[in-house]
Amino acid sequence: NAGVTQTPKFQVLKTGQSMTLQCAQDMNHEYMSWYRQDPGMGLRLIHYSVGAGITDQGEVPNGYNVSRSTTEDFPLRLLSAAPSQTSVYFCASSYSLYRVDEQFFGPGTRLTVL
Amino acid sequence: AQTVTQSQPEMSVQEAETVTLSCTYDTSESDYYLFWYKQPPSRQMILVIRQEAYKQQNATENRFSVNFQKAAKSFSLKISDSQLGDAAMYFCAFNSGGSNYKLTFGKGTLLTVNP
């Protein structure tokens, strides 16, 4: 198993540009989520999904869109990038919907918005 | 809303010695889950240890153990026989269980291990 994969690893955008951060898992996990990590802030939940076709907002959803068309993929879209979105983004997945257990994290994407 | 506080931004320990990282949390729930995650320079988030609030026994994973004080809402991580590979950022995280899948993280403690 490849686990949770994220692409790209690094990205530089200009203000106003759009892009999609990709996340995929091959463990047949129902639960997937996106976090952002900022210095001194820990990780904060952006959006999450409990299955294909079902998404919901987390703590800091503004400026981000998600969709879940398959169990495996959970892309995060930035429609109009802003410098405040400079951060490291982590995707995570978990196999259980009924018991909180280990969330498996991807390697992260470092995004810089100029 | 739940909050997680790690009051030690940085800690250091000598190799082979023991260090304790502090974590406190605030919740009105009676049943919940607590985690410690390790993030080395590679950025990969690695689960170190997990505690279920209804279990009174403190969780242990090899050299890592916790001191879970439910009444005090305290969840500290003890690392025994520290190794150079333990150097990392450590995050305490909380989940209220049930249908809530959200992990609430503390701001982290950067652990340095001195040879």
Please list the pLDDT of chain B residue by residue as tens digits (115 residues).
789 999 999 999 999 999 999 999 999 888 899 999 999 998 899 999 999 998 889 999 999 999 999 999 999 999 999 999 999 999 999 988 776 778 899 999 999 999 9
Instruction: Tell me how far apart the alpha carbons of residues A61 and A41 are, in angstroms, rounded to a whole number.
Output: 16
Please check whether residue A32 touches B, CB under 8 A: no
Dump strand ranges (E) for chain A: 4-7, 10-13, 19-25, 31-38, 42-51, 54-57, 64-66, 76-78, 87-94, 104-105, 109-113
Is A59 within 8 Å of A44 (Cβ atoms)? yes
Separate counts of helices (H) and strands (E) for chain A: 0, 11
Whole-number pLDDT of residue A97:
57
With an 8 Å Cβ cutoff, are A105 and B44 in contact?
yes
Beta-carbon count within 10 A of B14 CB: 11
User: Which of B81, B106, B109 has its CA nearest to residue B95?
Assistant: B106
Considering only the beta carbons, identify the residue of B43, B50, B105 that sits closest to A102: B50
DSSP β-bridge partners for residue B76:
B67
Looking at residue A73, the DSSP 8-state letter turns out to be: B
Here the tokens at position B25 are: 């949390």
For the residues A58-82, what does the mean pLDDT come to?
Answer: 96
